[in-house]
Amino acid sequence: VDRAVAEALDGADALASFRDRFPIPDGGPIYLDGNSLGRPSYAVQEALGAGLLDWERHLVGGWRRWIDLPVQVGDRLGGLIGAATGQVLVCDSTTVNLYKLADAALAHQADRTVIVGDANDFPTDRYVLAGLAQARGRHLRLLPSHPVTGLDLDDLAAAVDRHTALVCLSHVNYRSAARLDLAAVTDLAHDCGALVLWDLSHSAGAVPVELDAVGADLAVGCTYKYLNAGPGAPGYLYVRRGLAGELHQPIQGWFGQQDQFAMGPGYQPAAGVARFLTGTPPILGLLAVQAAVELLGEAGVDRLWAKSQGLTRLLVELVRQRLEPVGATLASPADPDSRGGHVSIAHPRAWPWCAALIERGLVVADFRTPDVMRLGPAPVYTRFVDVYDAVERIAEVVAADRDGSLPKPDRSRVT
Ligand SMILES: *Cc1c(COP(=O)(O)O)cnc(C)c1O
């Protein structure tokens, strides 16, 4: 594979023009961390500016237009995850939403004792489930999974039974990008009467998700990765229509109350998914999510997925060609049908490489302990030549480190 291949792919790219919707300076580092924090679009920047002006002009009167944003933006975001309206809210953080939905699921499944998860899942998911298991006197069963290919469906099938209250899993693994079969796992859990809670943080915006079609019960996710809504933008949650009314939301806040401004003496939950609201919504964050989701809606889930697969396919070929010969290994599934939107490589020197690439302004990728470098080409603004050039730059840094001379800086809290 040479650069002309990447150039040809860019020439045929249906989403090529979307790159112009983002301020991207020429000559800067190649940004392959869109799976951690996406780039701002002009649309998001304008929405934030307009929000500040609205606040200045309307002050408290602004609430008339703001108060329903969690529901309205949720309906829009639902279009990216296969959810019909009235089932998605944009609110709180992914962690808090996971807590609310998992707790509600456990309360609903009062006679079942076990929560099933993945021992290699994202930390916040494991920690929240561990805390809930303790608080509610349930047993958390975290299944061992393969660090590259992920959770084996037969192992999962063997672990789920009539004692299982909840199966809670990431659709795409944050480290390896191993992707689970949404429909197969949902069916497997439902066959045993368990509820399923999906974390879509590494899916939405790159990988298609069909929540309604597979009959998923519950889902959460964040908006600052492939959705590009900005650092700390609010997360989202999905509750299947028909299930919401049966669930009790553990945080009995006034925004989830049936007639909020009656300010009545007792808590009476709102009818549908709205009962999962808590307190005053973060309006600026919501305006950013709204603009971000509209832009991705224009790009279209199918085109985003086709481009994402093209980018990761090229990336895997280039890893084989340029990085495996110098000792790095592919740490993502080789099979595109089992992979999400990023590609990871593993090597004991991954951290010094990653640090040098950032330090020298070449490539922004990220590192996950102990030895994994993640390369996340967001489909809406990454070109095929970016992927090609990034691997060339990585190969150069790896060559410069042949004698192990690159410094190994202290790890900071984030890469
Ligand atoms: C990024 C991510 C989160 C983030 O949770 P926050 O509450 O936004 O910090 C949660 N789960 C997964 C799987 C993630 O990848």
| 35, 91, 94: residue to mutate for ligand 1 pocket, most atoms within 8 A of CB | 94
What pLDDT does residue 4 have?
Answer: 98
Partners of 197 in the β-ladder: 168, 218
pLDDT digits (tens, 9 = 90+) for 1-28: 999 999 999 999 999 999 999 999 999 9
pLDDT per residue as tens digits for the range 261-278: 888 899 999 999 999 999
pLDDT of residue 80: 98
Q: Give the contacts of 394 (CB within 8 A, at least 6 positions apart).
A: 322, 323, 353, 357, 362, 363, 365
Q: pTM, whole model, 2 decimals?
A: 0.97
Q: Encode 333-386 in three state secondary structure.
A: CCCHHHECCCEEEECCCHHHHHHHHHHCCCEECEEECCCEEEEECCCCCCCHHH
Q: 118 CB less than 6 Å from ligand 1?
A: no
Local confidence band at 162 (pLDDT 50, 70, 90 cut-offs): very high
CA of 101 relative to ligand 1 center, distance in Å: 15
Angle at 218 between CA 213 and CA 220, to 5 degrees: 110
- Mutation test residue for ligand 1: of 91, 97, 145, 201, the one with most atoms within 8 Å of CB: 201
Query: Is 100 designated active site?
Result: no
Set 31, 99, 122, 367: catalytic member = 122
Instruction: Identify whether 57 is a catalytic site residue.
Output: no
Q: Which of 265, 226, 227, 268 is nearest to 248 (CA)?
A: 268
Verify whether ligand 1 is closer than 6 Å to residue 94 (CB atom): yes
How many angstroms is it from 230 CA to the middle of ligand 1? 14
Distance 221 CA to ligand 1 centre (A): 7
Q: Which helix (H) or strand (E) holds 53?
A: helix 42-58
What pLDDT, in 10s, does the model give residues 104-158?
Answer: 999 999 999 999 999 999 999 999 999 999 999 999 999 999 999 999 999 999 9
- Strand (E) or helix (H) holding 44: helix 42-58
How high is the pLDDT of residue 128?
Answer: 98
Q: Is 224 a catalytic residue?
A: yes
CB atoms within 10 A of CB 280: 12
Catalytic residue among 224, 255, 276, 388: 224
Report which of 316, 307, 318, 320 is spatially closest to residue 335, judged by C-alpha positions: 316
Q: Is 261 a catalytic residue?
A: no
In 10 A of CB 111, how many CB atoms?
Answer: 7
- Find residue 115's DSSP bridge partners: 140, 166
Please write the tens of the pLDDT for every residue from 312-349.
Answer: 999 999 999 999 999 999 999 999 999 999 999 999 99
